[in-house]
Amino acid sequence: MSNQGEPAPSLRVALAGVGAAASVWPWVFRGKRGNFWLRMTLASGALALFAVRTRPQLRRETITVKDVEAGIVSAGGLYAIFQVGDRMARRIMPAGAEEIEQIYRFRTLASRPVIAALLVGVIAPSEELFWRGLVQESCARRFGRTAGAIAAAAAYGLVHLGSGNLTLTGAASVAGGYWGGQYALHPRLGPLLVSHILWDIWIFLVQPTPGGQRLA
């Protein structure tokens, strides 16, 4: 993705989107459990629509064969990090084990095909369009690639405080920093879209970290 000749996305507008995300994330994670996937889909999809409307170039994003290859490697790397992180959270965080299991209980609230369809079709790509395609790009244009990546990852993690789950907040911060670092080095969304989709499916439905295997 080239940024040459593209008007810089408004940092003020992007921050307004972050504020909206922070306001709805408690509703997403603390609302009635049975409707979690509906709420997550609506919230993520709304953020993606906001990003695309604010930065129309996002509509032209494509995924190449090289993007798929890079995305597979990226997803594998993040999965390895989370395998270590799961074990560390259980030892370091007072409520780490219970909070990890709380996260994985969401996969019992709908059938696996439905969850997979929502993750692939809406949730994972929507998060990349909003957090990297709009928020990080806006921060990078204002503060530079490195500082922009740090700022966007911090915002992504802080928004998850609304879930009331500190382990989830830490996990989101790690994932946001991981994908944000890749975007800072190579500002294309294609590999990150593939990575995010594959990682969500693999860690949530196919091969969870140890904390989720108890619920399989």
Residue 175 belongs to some domain of the structure: yes
Please enumerate in sequence order all residues whose Cβ is within 8 A of that of 98, keeping only pairs 6 or more positions apart, or say none.
Answer: none
Residue 94 belongs to some domain of the structure: yes
pLDDT at 37: 96
Could you tell me which of 16, 27, 22, 6 has the C-alpha nearest to residue 50? 16
Could you tell me which of 146, 151, 116 has the C-alpha nearest to residue 131? 151
Residue 6 belongs to some domain of the structure: no
Residue 3 belongs to some domain of the structure: no
Residue 60 belongs to some domain of the structure: yes
Residue 2 belongs to some domain of the structure: no
pLDDT per position in the chain (216 positions), as tens? 445 557 767 899 999 999 999 999 999 999 888 899 999 999 999 999 999 999 999 998 899 999 999 999 999 999 999 888 878 877 777 676 788 888 888 988 999 999 999 999 999 999 999 999 999 999 999 999 999 999 999 999 999 999 998 988 999 999 999 999 999 999 999 999 999 999 999 998 998 877 556 555
Q: Which residue has the tokens 């990890």?
A: 100
Q: What pTM value is reported for the model?
A: 0.91
pLDDT at 214: 55
Could you tell me which of 4, 28, 38, 18 has the C-alpha nearest to residue 153? 18
Residue 5 belongs to some domain of the structure: no
Residue 138 belongs to some domain of the structure: yes
Residue numbers of the domain that contains 124? 11-213
Burial 189-212 (b: 16+ CB within 10 A, else e): bbbbbbbbbbbbbbbbbeebbebb
Cα 62 from Cα 66, distance rounded (Å)? 11
**How many domains does the structure of the chain reveal?**
1
